[in-house]
Structure 1
Amino acid sequence: MKTIVLIIIAYLLGSIPSGFWIGKAFYKKDIRQFGSGNTGTTNTFRVLGVKAGFAVFLADLLKGTLATSLAYLPNIEVNPLWFGLCAILGHVFPIFAKFKGGKAVATSAGMLLGYHPLFFFYSLAIFLILLYITSMVSLSSMIAAVIITLSTFILPFILPALLPEQDWLLSCIAVIVTVFIFYLHRQNIQRLRQGTESRISFGLNKKPKEK
């Protein structure tokens, strides 16, 4: 029974629609009505600006971390990744925002932070390098997800100091999350094919300043 309650709590933590609540409370905007319609970090940056974007990123990251950390409570014998996965599902399908949420990236990162901090910083470095090269959050997120997933299989053999042993559950959930991320970015993939995907004002291919 305790495990079921914690699973529900993990989902509810993930369901906190940070972008939607911050938009309504401080900007009087429902960000689901603007941009991509998502309540996640990227759309918040686009619609509400840098301050709101960073606030939502931190909130969405911590949702995954807190949910994952529920497994470290006394007398809980559940792998933390299961609670993290529940938070990711809550973030994508939030009960508090009519099941219309974000694209799983920040909360997935939060899950890694709660489960394996060193691997989280490795993954964050991969994403930031890709973001600098592409200047596109969507493309960086998808490529990073693939590289991170492959890393869970390869690192135990080539860099055991970072990932000492093969963690099959981590690898399986990484595959699931990566497939999920690609599915949630299907409209972005279409815009990438058309050459119309949005770029940010950072990196080698940053968007030009408006005159």
Structure 2
Amino acid sequence: MVSDLMTWQITLPIALVAAVIGYLLGSIPFGLLLTRAAGLGDVRSIGSGNIGATNVLRTGNKKLAAATLLLDALKASAAAWIVGYLFGAEAALIAGLFAFLGHLFPVWIGFKGGKGVATYIGTLLGVAPVMVLVFAAVWLATALTTRYSSLSALVAMLVIPVALWILGAEKVAAVMAIMSAISYWKHKANIARLMSGTESKIGAKG
């Protein structure tokens, strides 16, 4: 299993092309673009300052938040689908990883992006679509139990690499594990609030 994980057939030039395509698609700041187009100003000036759907929701526009969530997911899926079609499954994995990194660290806005949950799901959709159902099931179960959105995402991102590894998809598991670790780091403030009991619950006011 480990030897298969270490055996990659992709060449360096193709890996670089996959990384560039993935990063450029992932770095499109849809949350910022949509809120500005709707006349709501700069989403980075409110709430957490992030460009993701959760912060867009703080504008009070649920449709805009849903559109941001969908587009942030689909940009990673598109990167994986396009690159996978051109160069194969390993290249798709690299494209998905770099789309995720592009969302977190977009070059266009000073490398200050979102926390990556939607783009994480989008990468899954692009490289292991059945696992999106696993993510959704874990997220929903955790949310119904704890009513913490951030904790639900964190638990789901812990389960996904383990499930992929058990199913024998070692390379996908490794890439998703890297993404999970980076997203955990981006969620460090949420984790601190969860530990102190001050994290907002789903449906909480203010």
Q: TM-score range by the shorter chain?
A: 0.7 to 0.9
SS at match of 2:165: helix
What is the percentage of aligned positions where both structures have the same residue?
Answer: 37
Structure 1 position 2, deviation (Å): 5.8
Could you report, residue by residue, the CA deviation over 1:166-196 in whole angstroms, capped at 9, with x for unpaired residues?
1211111122111111100111111112222
Q: CA RMSD in A?
A: 1.8
Query: 1:107-118 residue pairs with structure 2 within 5 A?
Result: 107-118=119-130
Question: Where in structure 1 are there 5+ consecutive unaligned residues?
Answer: 157-165, 202-206
Structure 1 position 72, deviation (Å): 2.9
**Cα pair 1:45 1:52 within 8 Å, conserved:** yes
SS at match of 2:112: coil
Structure 1 equivalent of residue 4 of structure 2: none
Provide the TM-score with structure 1 as the length reference: 0.84
Name the CA distance, whole Å, in 2 between partners of 1:89 and 1:48.
27
Name the CA distance, whole Å, in 1 between partners of 2:195 and 2:84.
44
Name the CA distance, whole Å, in 1 between partners of 2:39 and 2:147.
26
Name the CA distance, whole Å, in 1 between partners of 2:123 and 2:60.
25
Of residues 103-112 and 19-28 in structure 1, the stretch that sits farther from structure 2 once superposed is 19-28
**Cα pair 1:11 1:88 within 8 Å, conserved:** yes
Query: 1:151-190 residue pairs with structure 2 within 5 A?
Result: 151-154=163-166, 156=167, 166-190=168-192
Structure 1 position 145, deviation (Å): 0.8
Query: 1:27-66 residue pairs with structure 2 within 5 A?
Result: 27-66=39-78
Structure 1 equivalent of residue 113 of structure 2: 101
SS at match of 1:126: helix
Provide the TM-score with structure 2 as the length reference: 0.86
**Cα pair 2:160 2:173 within 8 Å, conserved:** no
What is the total number of aligned residue pairs between the two structures?
A: 193
| One of 128, 131, 134 as aligned partner of 2:146 | 134
Name the CA distance, whole Å, in 2 between partners of 1:105 and 1:6.
21
Name the CA distance, whole Å, in 1 between partners of 2:196 and 2:79.
38
Structure 1 position 5, deviation (Å): 3.6
Question: Where in structure 2 are there 5+ consecutive unaligned residues?
Answer: 1-12
| One of 102, 105, 109 as aligned partner of 1:90 | 102
Structure 2 equivalent of residue 159 of structure 1: none
Name the CA distance, whole Å, in 1 between partners of 2:59 and 2:201.
14
The verdict on how the C-alpha distance between 1:12 and 1:5 changes in structure 2, with shifts beyond 3 A counting, is: same
**Cα pair 2:157 2:180 within 8 Å, conserved:** yes
Structure 1 position 78, deviation (Å): 5.4
Structure 1 position 48, deviation (Å): 4.0
| One of 15, 22, 26 as aligned partner of 2:27 | 15
**Cα pair 2:105 2:111 within 8 Å, conserved:** yes
SS at match of 1:73: helix
Name the CA distance, whole Å, in 2 between partners of 1:198 and 1:17.
25
Which stretches of structure 1, 4 residues or longer, exceed 3 Å deviation after superposition? 1-6
